[in-house]
């Protein structure tokens, strides 16, 4: 279910709430093999394991 939401959010800005209570924001670039790739405002890419995501907030 979370993977489907992330796949539909590809190319859109989201905020991901992680298990550590951290919030990570960016544009979803790719979702595959248990990893979400986000592009931040600075242009850097972040690789986040899906099992560490608690919630997805669409912007």
Average pLDDT, the chain: 95
Q: Determine the length of the chain.
A: 59
- What pTM value is reported for the model? 0.89
List the chain residues with pLDDT less than 50: none
Q: How many CB atoms lie within 10 A of CB 56?
A: 16
Backbone angles phi, psi at 9, to 5 degrees: -90, 5
For residue 4, give the H/E element and its range.
helix 2-8
Q: What is the pLDDT of residue 46?
A: 96
Q: What is the pLDDT of residue 45?
A: 97
Q: What is the pLDDT of residue 59?
A: 78
Residue whose pair of structure tokens reads 């592009």 in the numeric block: 39
């Amino acid at each position: 279910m979370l993977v489907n939401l992330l796949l539909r959010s590809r190319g859109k800005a989201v905020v991901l709430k992680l298990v550590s209570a951290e919030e990570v924001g960016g544009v979803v670039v790719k979702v595959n093999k248990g990893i979400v790739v986000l592009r931040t405002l600075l242009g850097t890419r972040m690789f986040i394991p899906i099992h560490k995501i608690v919630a997805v907030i669409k912007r």
